[in-house]
Amino acid sequence: MPSMINKRTVMTLFSDPECIYSHRVRIVLAEKNITVDILDADPLNLPEDVTDVNPYGTLPTLIDRDLSLYDSRIIMEYLDERYPHPPLLPIDPVSRATTRIYLHRVEKDWYTLVDIIIKGGKPAARARKELKESLLAAGPVLAAKPWFMSDDFTLVDTTIAPLLWRLPALGIELKGAGSGQVLGYAKRLFERPCFGKSLTEEEKELRK
């Protein structure tokens, strides 16, 4: 590994200030109050620090001394294991596995649609409609407990929060049955201190 990376004495996150994947990692960092250098990076012009350790050239990329991680979900789980308080995954194996299934479904069912919408073109309109309908259908689930299927704030919530924040920018306005439940959950997420701390200036502009 290049010497310039070995010289880093503080955990460093290379983050796209507009990226949903980088955002969810920043929420975890803020929730756990982890000392970290967060460096904004342009995904189209990556710094050598990233390209030297990340064979995929993607963001976010986390460098923690001799360790480099470049998948947002792996980064989040690493942070939760290294800094266990407050825990963002349940302690018992069954509940932990169930939470990971929820994470997988959010990524597969919702994040995939977000990626399609951002790319634009003809598929975006269909993806926008599908995401809106899916979120509204999830209203009762989102309202059943304070957090997603849980009394405790988890990695699932840190994953859904950036998506709900971006709905206006994605061209989605929630109305009708289920909308109040989704928006109520979103309000709880946005009022959590870690969420406010996680926002970049670019992300703040998404709601203006």
Which entry of 13, 19, 38, 156 is annotated as an active-site residue?
19
The fold for domain 3-82 equals Glutaredoxin (3.40.30)
The average confidence (pLDDT) of the chain is 95
CB atoms within 10 A of CB 133: 12
Signed CA dihedral, 172, 121, 204, 84: sign only: positive
| Whether 133 contacts 175, CB under 8 Å | no
pLDDT class for 7, splitting at 50, 70, 90?
Answer: low
All CATH 3.40.30.10 domain ranges of the chain, comma separated, are 3-82
pLDDT in tens, 165-180: 999 999 999 998 889 9
Residue 194 annotated among the catalytic residues of the structure:
no
pLDDT in tens, 81-107: 999 999 999 999 999 999 999 999 999
| Digit-coded pLDDT (tens) for 30-49 | 999 999 999 999 999 999 99
Q: Is 144 helix (H, G, I), strand (E, B) or coil?
A: helix
CATH 1.20.1050.10 in the chain is located at 93-192
| CATH architecture type of domain 93-192 | Up-down Bundle (1.20)
